[in-house]
Structure 1
Amino acid sequence: MVAMRLSVELVARELARSHRIRVHGTAGRELALHRPELLEPSTCELIPHHLYVGRTDQLPQRVLIGTDVALVVVGPSPRLRWFRERCSVIEVEEPCDLPAVFNEVQRLFQRYAHWEESLWEILDDDSSIQALLDASASVLDGSLDVLDANLRLLGQTISQNASRERASIADEGGNLYPDSMNEFLSQHDLAMDVSTPFVMDVSGVSTLNANLLDNGTYLGCLTQMADPGTTCDMADAPVMALLADMVLKALRRLDVTTEKTKGDLRRSLAALVAAEQLDALSLSALAAERGSYVCLKMRLNSRGRQLPLSYVRNLVEGNLPDTVAFIHQRSYVVAFSRLDGLAPEGERRAALERLLAPMTDSVGMRVGISDHLLGLESARTYYLQAGVALELGMALDPKGTVYRFQQYALPELIMNSLGELSVEAYYTPGLRRLLEHDEHGSVSYIDTLERYLSLNMNVSATARELYLHRSTLIERLSRIRADMGQELDDPKTRLRIQLLLEARRLERSLGELSTT
């Protein structure tokens, strides 16, 4: 392995920690300099990309200087002007000891060489991204993060000087909390195609970023976050680029068998939901996934719409065990969640909703939930159920967040049964007379009838609900029956009236929503 090279900027920064220095010439940022050599008076050629350390009274009289040469010299000398015009010069002010300066520079190279060697060892071992970041604390100040293309945290180191908020930017599944996500997206969306490290201010904190690009494809980002009161140093840019390359290598080497299997399942379910045909092999693979599942259809409200759906998908998969989620129609996240291991039978839906609650609150999400399904090959039917629950739930209960299909099965059944006709087209003559009465009367016969039927025609219970004397209600019901010209004791008549009244209520609710 070729020994790691350093830049003039890194050498100058290290010496500036313990000496007064001046830098002349082009302070190169490229990692181009070989390990230091002592400068001898007899030296006749300074080799390209080499670093020499010496005293000004030992500068050679006649010397050829190659490209990108750097000198570290102790003490002043008029002869330095000639060298400054031809190479980079780091002047170290006296008093200082030449051997001590040389050893400092040597140790700097050794530290970076040991760091690079440890990165290769990690890659050859388990390619742990977290281990790569941990090893990099010896050469990079501040805190380090690696986010993948779906903005999931793959690894993180936290500086001892970092703020408390900095220590909690993601949940245990690696998903950024919404506030952290919003901070990142507010700036980084505009820089995902930048191929070299760049400095970016995020909520007043200086960061140095290196995108993880694989043949132009964005796979994520490596970020160095400066400690409070400090700024990132572009001298670290080539070091960040090297570390980013190592992280890319780790991503390529990591075992992706599990993710591939999940990806195949995700694609098959997405195809079924979209009513696409699956081959026999894919169908048999779905049929093998036995268990009790529900389908979830999720949509972000106005507060959460700036979040990427890929982030929401990862959040769902990370917080709901045995769940496969995917993006559908660029507006929804659809998930199939297995309930068998979630809780004892009879408690599973409640357990699922408890897990959903923090997500619906934090990212502003609405969720429709289907009935249980025992085989994923029926995915589309249950996807449609979840869609009905979501759309009708949002319309009829706009303050809600989680909607079960069974809550909205009857409204969906009624609305579908109307066909192309409006509700009014199904009204009986008697029902029309009641509506005409309500337009001019001070007492609503329709409201009274609805309450009476909903309480199974129990006069006493209805009187209590309407705060009426029993005899007053009996008299009003007598007038209602007379106007209707129908007997409510007939089950079919009663069912028809109840369905029409419910359809009228639904149509009015949906109509009011569409006008707001």
Structure 2
Amino acid sequence: MESLLNLQIIYERLQAIEPEVKLVPSSHMPGLKGIRFYEGEAEEEDFLIICSRLHSDRLPVGGSLLLVGDWSEEERTGLTGYILKKDGDLFSLANKLEHMFSYYGDIERRLQKILYADSSLNDICQIILEHFGHSVFVHDEHFYILSCPRIEPEKTKFDYDSQMGSYMQDEQTLTMFRTSPAYQETLKTTGGQFWKSDFDDTTCLYANIWIDQVYKGRLIITEPSPTPGKLREAGYFGEVIRQAFINRYVYRDDAPSLLKGIIVDGLNDREINVEKLAQKAGQIGWQMEDHYVCGMITFGNEKISHYLAFGVCNSIQQQVEGSYPCYYDKAIYLLINLTRGKVSLNDLRMKMSYTIRESLLHVGVSNIFYRLQDFPLYMKQAKIALIHSWEKNCTSWYNEFKETVLPYWMINGLGELTRDTIISGDLTILKKYDEVKGTDLYQTLKVYLTHERNSTLTAQILKIHRSTLPHRLERIETLTGMNLDDFKTRLYLLMSFALEEE
């Protein structure tokens, strides 16, 4: 996450003690991590640039600026994203800013420490409470209260659910929510927002918690006076809560999760409860027949901390929409919904490249599959691909099962896999495409390869014009990413066709 403090918050903090300051906002005001004095050279975007005539007689063309002194309107023409302070002691101002950056930096460090430790919602909410000075609470998508460090009867109205053993939003408020158009609109928002009730005098700041585009709950701050800076702060704290949700329910070995328990069962060859899997998948917006791949990342013989593992998991989830990382037994297992993330295998390689390559890691990736309950077998494919890369001392960081399958198949037969899971996943892609589009790409490829890529004979057998065939082959390669000029690719496909006929 970028830094919390930005130009808007700095302006609001300065205005509280020096009302004469003026803000000219810009459409993009990024988080800032420190102060720089402008001396005529380009500065980094994530610093507040103090511009004083003591250091330069001209202004930079962009960035987050604090203009100190008598800068004329002509000099400021066309400039946005700055605070103007015409007079005052520069040393005193810099000192105030240093205290401001120190305060917000301390908040960020404390929050990060919590996230990398136990992701305690209570500890996070306590920091938010200290910052705003108003009651703070977090509820899940069912309105059960997950954290509330300070209860104020007038602002935090909860009922106790004896069956669940937990507090939840009071029934009267829930009834109002169900009939409130204004509240229904809040369920569509992202970032920090302000809520003004249309059924009573309640006001608050809030930030919805979204995980994989699924609403998982809300952070509520009973702050009565919204400002753009406070909305940014609420959004930032909401993102911290979201990350705590992810850590607690996805990565932690000792916490419940949506899919982790089922993934662990699959990794240990325990029977998968398909009905339960469908229910859990549905909670994050997945369908059992979506397009999936599995992946496996290990850290070799290195001893790693949860900090590093969570960091890799978080980075992957940020880069690859529809991904579900699971840290278990010193490895990260990936279940990736390509349909949900709207990515192809080629896209996946590109999206994962930064995290995997920069961390000097290696990943094994399975074939595509279309039945979520089959994921244990495809996790094995990912593991096979990864082990093969180690044994061959491969330098590639991204290892696909289809690149490993031939030696595995020839040496082990089906091995740990099944007839349906060892054949090329690209054939399944073509079958699915043919079903949806009414095309004949699967049969075209089969005839083309079994007749040794004889275009004339293939066209005759398929009863199509010879000029149609290249277009079909091009479409096949585009859909699957296959290179039909590669001998090993063709051999794998021919073996798959042969196995399907058995």
TM-score range, shorter chain: 0.3 to 0.5
Q: TM-score, normalised by structure 1?
A: 0.43
Q: TM-score, normalised by structure 2?
A: 0.44
Larger-Rg structure: 1
